[in-house]
Structures are given as C-alpha cells and as structure tokens.
Amino acid sequence: MNVLVLGGDGFCGWPTALHLSAGGHDVTIVDNFARRSADVELGAESLTPIRPLEERLDAWTALGGRAIGFRRIDVAKAYEALEAALRELAPDAIVHFAEQRAAPYSMKSPRHKRYTVDNNINATNNLLCAMVEAAPDAHLVHLGTMGVYGYGKAKGLRIPEGYVDATLRADGREASVEIVYPPDPGSIYHMTKTQDALLFAFYAKNDGLRITDLHQGVVWGTLTPETVADERLINRFDYDGDYGTVLNRFLMQAAIGHPLTIHGTGGQTRAFIHIRDTVRCIELAALSGPARGKRVRILNQMTETHRVRDLARMVSDMTGVPVRTMENPRKEAAENDLQVANDGLVRLGLKPTRLSEGLMGEVIDVARRYANRCDTAKVVATSRW
C-alpha cells in the first residue's frame, strides 16, 4: 500500500508512519510542524527528547527501515502543493492527522479558537477537494474523536459506531431513518471534528469518495515496537495541561512525585486506547476501506472505558503518590456513564491492549528516565472554559 500520513511528525502520526513502514507499505509523511510550533508558543516541550524529523527519518533508514518520504506542506493553506503531491504520489490511502488536536489549547483564547477552526476545517476540506481532483480512488482514513458523541445525550444507550436507527416524531407523524448519532461536542476542538463529519458525508455522497472516520478514545502510552528500536526514533510524550492526555499525565505526575490532579469529582468516564493499538487500528482500517459511492465508514477506535478517578486510584495504588482534587476548569458533566461499541476494529483483527497488561509501569519508567526535562510549572491545566 502506498500511504500518505498527514501530520506524520506528531504524537500519533509518527509511530503510525513507522508502523506502516515496518509493515511493508510505502509511506510519505506530510507535515508543517504545527505541533512543534505549539511547543515553542507554550514554552512546553515533549518530555522525551524528540529529534528533528529529518534525523528521525535518517535513523529509520540507517536501521534498515524502508525509506519514508517527506513533504513539508501546510495542508490547511497550500492547496496547490497538496493537490500536486496527491497527483504525483498516487496514494492508495491517506491518513489524516493534520489537525489541531487538543481541547484545552482550542479553548485558550479567541486566537486559539479561531486557529483550531480555520486549520482543521480548511485542512479537511482542502484534502477532500484535492482527492476529488487528483486521487478519487484513494481511501481517506481520518482521526476523529469519541468526543463527538458527547457524554450523556442518549442515556442508557451503548454508543454505536457512528450510525443509529431512529424514529423521528413531529406533528403526530413519524418516520424511521438511520441517522448519524447526534453530535454533542464539549470544546471547539471536538466541535471541529463534528464539522469534519459533515464534510465527509457530503463528499462521500456527492463525489463517491472512500472515507473511514475513526472516533478515537484518549490515547495513552508512548512507546511502540518501532519507536523503541533507537532513541532517535523516540515518540513525543506530552504532560502539560494543554496537550497531555489524562492517563499519561497521571503516570508522569506519579513519576515525579507530583499529586495526581483530578478535575472535579473525577467522575468523568472516558474511552481509552494504547498508542500501540492506535497504530494497528490505522493499518487495519486503511487496508479495508469502503467501496466508492458507499457512505462514510465510522469506527470507534478504543479498547476500554474508565472513570478518571478510578485511573487515578490505580496509579496512586501502584506508586503511593496521592490524588489531589482540583476545581474542574472545563464545562462538562461531573459524572457520566459510557459504554461504547468497538466491534468494527475487533472484527478487522484488533487484539485490544488492556491497562491490566502492565504497560502503565512502562510509561512511568519512560517518565522517570526523562524527569529532569520536566517543567513542573506546566503540569497543572490552566485553560478554563
């Protein structure tokens, strides 16, 4: 498979590019280094010492890996370059990570809200436009988020994979239809993913594009079999209040003896997936796209759900580091239940990696190894909404 990985220098993108390359696929990364620029803006850095992309790519080849190509393109702005790249590279699949992916970052200020909407929506629309013109048979694999579903809209229901049967009622009449599960995003970032879904539905219907939208849970972990081969291949590890994800933040906090910071009661239940499973899911999805003219395929990319305070308790029990409750800086339900269908990826061959498999210790080890790089001032979340 000839694959483009847009955003292939990021936290999920980089290990995905390596995994696909290791799997025998021809990979080209497209990136504009927006994530590294956000590090500079926030004065925060990956805990792990990630190398410049060129060095990463050279190391991969030096270790015997299949050469991975690179194009520096701003997908949201440089439409002509993107269209030309699609025409030239003729990808079978395009993995689309080229979006601003942090909810707290998206809510920091008008500038951050506006950047997130402008970047994410134009990136997706540019890509779809360019596919219609230059790669109409390619399969688009997009990274969405479980957050599009919201946490409490349809109480008692197990969240389906995108679509749900519905009976609509108005003026005493009713109609039965299949609909997209009603979106209920909790931040501007999540909102952009619900706007993406409308773009996908339109281009699938109007132009017959082949699209898979992966609604991913909260990613944890940092290592994959490929990134551990050499320190120059190391993946990023975010622990700051904007880009760090909740379980990785707990594990990092434990590693440096910082109290585990729970927002509110910690009663938020969320879906999780280990980064090892993320990269496998993407390959499984990319290899099995829908046919042209079919509706968008939506899969839930997660392996288990947990209540945030239960995770904190687990990490606290492992490490002896105490839990600290803080006022919740976000507008969200204090407590929610969450059950999620993930049959699609399991059917495609995913063997879920569980929290119980001991990988939490691996993350703590990584965090301890690089603890001297930690800026403790960045640990507490400051973006409020």
Selected catalytic residue, list 48, 145, 261, 305 = 145
145 counts as catalytic: yes
187 or 245, CB closer to its own copies? 187
Q: How far is the CB of 154 from its own copies (least distance, A)?
A: 4
Give the binding site for its own copies (CB under 8 A): 79, 83, 110, 113-114, 117-118, 121-122, 125-126, 129-130, 132-133, 153-160, 164-171, 173-175, 177, 179-183, 185, 188, 191, 194-195, 198-199, 202, 205-206, 331, 341, 385
Q: Which amino acid is at 17?
A: A
Residue owning tokens 């996908």: 200
Q: How far is the CB of 104 from its own copies (least distance, A)?
A: 14
Report the alpha-carbon distance of residue 301 to residue 291 in Å, rounded.
21
118 or 230, CB closer to its own copies? 118
142 or 378, CB closer to its own copies? 142
Report the alpha-carbon distance of residue 61 to residue 170 in Å, rounded.
62
Q: How far is the CB of 91 from its own copies (least distance, A)?
A: 18
37 or 109, CB closer to its own copies? 109
Q: What is the DSSP string of 298-352?
A: EEEE-SEEEEHHHHHHHHHHHH-PPEEEE---S-S-SB----B--HHHHHHT--P
Helix (H) or strand (E) holding 276, with range, is helix 275-286
316 or 383, CB closer to its own copies? 383
Q: How far is the CB of 117 from its own copies (least distance, A)?
A: 5
Asked whether 97 and 186 are in contact (CB, 8 A), the reply is: no
Selected catalytic residue, list 79, 105, 116, 193 = 193
Report the alpha-carbon distance of residue 148 to residue 152 in Å, rounded.
12
341 or 355, CB closer to its own copies? 341
Give the tokens for residue 46. Answer: 């990956």
64 or 172, CB closer to its own copies? 172
Give the tokens for residue 178. Answer: 């299949």
Q: Which of 274, 249, 256, 228 is nearest to 326 (CA)?
A: 249
Selected catalytic residue, list 189, 203, 239, 243 = 189
Residue 144 half-sphere exposure toward CB, CA atoms < 13 A? 31
Report the alpha-carbon distance of residue 252 to residue 256 in Å, rounded.
7
Q: Which of 239, 380, 262 is nearest to 316 (CA)?
A: 262
Name the 3-class secondary structure at 7.
Answer: coil
Residue owning tokens 């809200």: 113
Q: How far is the CB of 189 from its own copies (least distance, A)?
A: 11
189 counts as catalytic: yes
Q: How far is the CB of 339 from its own copies (least distance, A)?
A: 9
Q: How far is the CB of 38 from its own copies (least distance, A)?
A: 19
Name the 3-class secondary structure at 113.
Answer: helix
48 counts as catalytic: no
Q: Which amino acid is at 230?
A: D
Q: Which residues are catalytic?
A: 145, 189, 193
